Chains A and B, each alone.
Chain A
Amino acid sequence: MSSWIVVKIGGSTLSSAGSYFSHAVKIRALIESGVRTFIVLSAMRGVTDSLLKLAWGRLGELEFLRELHYSVALELGGANLASVVDGILGGLGKLASTAPRGPALVDYIVSHGERLSRIFMVKALEAEGVKVLNVNALDIIAVRGDYGDAYIDYRVTFMNLAKVRELAELEKASPVIEGFIGRMSDGSIATLGRGGSDYTATAVASLSSIDRVFMVTDVPGVFSCDPRIVSGVRLVEELSLREAREASLYNVKGLNPKAFTPELLKEDMEIRIGTWSSKGTLVRAGASNGAKLVGYKGPTIALIGEGVQSVKVAVRLLEALDAGGVPVYSLEFTVEKPSISFKVPENLAFKALNIAHKVVVDG
């Protein structure tokens, strides 16, 4: 185990100056315990959606964005920082109202959520006495592909990250970088799509040979099913890397497909998802077998867990669904994937989720 950890601060936990200070205190404690931190930032809660609306011409969003960022800036960096933030948001408003709209412009505008968040986190960390490397993602994270859904150029980013690690080691400082954004080869800014900050975090870890990632969220971890649909969900304590990858394809909250792409997940990697105070869900190689959670993608539902891909579990699942009056259109499992997926009528999908989840709970 290296002494380094990538800490990705989720946007759901960032809503005020206090929330930045709170994270800064935890990070300082981590550093004092002998752990080196590489911090990846999301935008504040609600900001990405708001910036997207702004980019598409909803100028009214400026009020929300100003109110939120101005007060945080004032508290973290005084009138100077507040004035800078005001200038940035004013510039974005001007762009949104006058410039011809296109995907590149939308990404440019949306990227500012993470960029502002980095500025705030750096201020909070410095106030806590943490020595930081204020790293601009546009210098480090090289991306390719489409605006709004770009992917990281691992080769170039690897070379860039090596320099950050070297400088961080030399100066005993914690790098702080924005998630979700990167620089295209033509110099423009592109975003990585939903969950892009998680993707940045696992990429930074993997490419920097850091084997631990902590994704800090506002929920204690990954649940066994969507609690809005199913009652009695429980926290999943452990997932294998394959299970996490599979679950990410079925909209399981906290797990994003790009962050769990196989080329990023090294065997010795451990990814913890949860709050600072919870034990969270640990994603790691060698996690125990068995059905762990249920995800869904429209009317396609997946029972996920190493070892579930068996006739025995499929029969039990089909019997439970049959007993519940849910017809199954198709069912699929292969030895390569730790899941059984099945398709049901759309209007019975929630019922099927509850039945499948009971199979998980009952073991």
Chain B
Amino acid sequence: MDVRVLVVGFGHVGRAFARLTALKGSLVERRFGVRVKIVGVVDSRGAALKPEGFSGAELLKVSEVPRSSVCFSEPYGVCGLSLKSLYDSVQPDVHVEVTPSNYVSGEPGLSNVMFALSRGANVVLANKAPLALKFDDIMGSARARGLKVKFRATVMGGSPLIDTVLSLRSHEVKKVYGIFNATTNYILTLMHESLIGLDEALKTAQAMGVAEADPSLDIDGWDAAAKLVILARLLGLKLNISGIARESLSKVTLRDVVEALKRNSVIKHVAGFDALSGEAWVKPETLSSDSVLSKVNGLLNAAVIETDVCDYILIGKGGGPVETAHSLLDDIVSITGGLI
């Protein structure tokens, strides 16, 4: 079965996805009978399109072109096309949305996703903003058209948290909390292990490509809050991003860290919601060093799901490009049903 995929957004994650498809396409086809054909990749200035699907070598090549330059890649580059023209040209079955998250307007991801659904394409997202802001609209639109929307890459992108939550069909979830932002966890780990201030830890994180040049979405808790909204919506809770109490990590000082360590504790940027009270938060918390979350360091994430049956803990990778790309590919296979 051939699946025609359009990748919208071609930064680290989009490129990792293209390279992954090149290298693991055959494996996926053998195991699940699904032949993933990337028919177009789109960045902010244009696209590279090949209606019959790029070969593996072509995907590896296009993944190496400079940022915002796919439209100059020969012979498939096209500059300045509208999404409508792109759809007319390549007619994708699956739209992969990996543009940057914008928690004010949701754009460009939100319009892209709604357009994709209007054109009959299933949608796979790594961009959280459209779901965090318009979850019901997106799902409603998909349902009305018999289409699927998958977004495993949006929360703990390198680990199957979304799938785990969705599988708890008969459980009553009481509370979900954890460490959902790899950047702030990396920064806090550096602060505790190297006893450095937040500014210095942030600079190191930026140097290592872990933090963005503008880290405010992570530091101020927007990213973790968006993830909470998505998790809550999966459980049928009407949580809005504006209703989440956010405390920025920026107020945590080296002195706070030292004081916590003296008390055999650590500081973590914890996000969670209580399904019963509707309360939701993202805030720095001082945790005893024998708690599970206190041991989750670096780029790892963790989720604790408390239910009426028992509690579940998932510790795993957050959203590095390679891990996120795997979640995107898994979602595509899942949409198409696969053989298993």
The answer to whether A and B belong to the same complex is yes
Residues of B within 8 A of A119 (CB): 64
Separation of A119 and B61 alpha carbons in the complex (Å): 10
Q: Among the listed A100, A136, A164, A171, which residue makes an inter-chain contact with B203, where contact means beta carbons less than 8 Å apart?
A: A100
Residues of A within 8 A of B60 (CB): 133-136
Q: Which of B4-55 contact A (CB under 8 A)?
A: 16, 19-20, 22-24, 26-27, 55
Q: Among the listed B55, B57, B200, B206, which residue makes an inter-chain contact with A132, where contact means beta carbons less than 8 Å apart?
A: B57
Separation of A40 and B105 alpha carbons in the complex (Å): 46
Chain B contacts to A: CB under 8 angstroms: 16, 19-20, 22-24, 26-27, 55-57, 60-61, 63-64, 66, 69, 72, 196, 200, 203-204, 206-209, 298-299, 320-322
Q: A134-B64, A173-B57 are in contact. Are A108 and B26 (CB under 8 A)?
A: no
Residues of A within 8 A of B206 (CB): 99
Contact B57–A95 (Cβ < 8 Å): no
Known: A100-B203, A163-B23. 4 other contacts (CB 8 A): A139-B322, A170-B56, A171-B55, A186-B299
Separation of A341 and B298 alpha carbons in the complex (Å): 46
Separation of A108 and B208 alpha carbons in the complex (Å): 8
Residues of A within 8 A of B57 (CB): 131-134, 167, 171, 173
| A33 sits at the interface (CB 8 A) | no
Q: List 7 A-B contacts (CB under 8 A).
A: A100-B207, A108-B207, A133-B60, A134-B64, A170-B56, A171-B56, A183-B322
Contact A99–B19 (Cβ < 8 Å): no
CB distance from B70 to the nearest CB of A (A): 13
B55 — nearest CB in chain A belongs to which residue? A171
Q: Which of the listed residues B64, B207, B322 has the most CB atoms from chain A within 10 Å of its own CB?
A: B207
**Main DSSP-derived SS at the B contact region:** helix
Q: A100-B203, A135-B60, A187-B299 are in contact. Are A167 and B26 (CB under 8 A)?
A: yes
Residues of B within 8 A of A122 (CB): 64
Residues of A within 8 A of B19 (CB): 136, 139
Q: A133-B56, A171-B55 are in contact. Are A80 and B23 (CB under 8 A)?
A: no
| A335 sits at the interface (CB 8 A) | no
Separation of A171 and B60 alpha carbons in the complex (Å): 12
Residues of B within 8 A of A29 (CB): none
Residues of A within 8 A of B69 (CB): 80
Contact A166–B322 (Cβ < 8 Å): no
Contact B66–A167 (Cβ < 8 Å): no
Q: A132-B57, A173-B57, A187-B322 are in contact. Are A167 and B203 (CB under 8 A)?
A: no
B-contact bits for A110-134, CB 8 A (1 contact / 0 none): 0000000001001000000001111
Separation of A154 and B143 alpha carbons in the complex (Å): 46
Residues of A within 8 A of B196 (CB): 100
Contact B204–A167 (Cβ < 8 Å): no
Separation of A80 and B74 alpha carbons in the complex (Å): 13
Contact A163–B66 (Cβ < 8 Å): no
Q: Which of A69-126 contact B (CB under 8 A)?
A: 80, 83-84, 87, 95, 98-100, 102, 104-105, 108, 119, 122
Contact B208–A104 (Cβ < 8 Å): yes
CB distance from B242 to the nearest CB of A (A): 32
Separation of A122 and B61 alpha carbons in the complex (Å): 9
| A209 sits at the interface (CB 8 A) | no
Residues of B within 8 A of A164 (CB): 23
| A160 sits at the interface (CB 8 A) | yes
Residues of A within 8 A of B23 (CB): 139, 160, 163-164, 167
CB distance from A150 to the nearest CB of B (A): 16
Separation of A187 and B324 alpha carbons in the complex (Å): 12
Contact A105–B207 (Cβ < 8 Å): yes
Separation of A36 and B24 alpha carbons in the complex (Å): 21
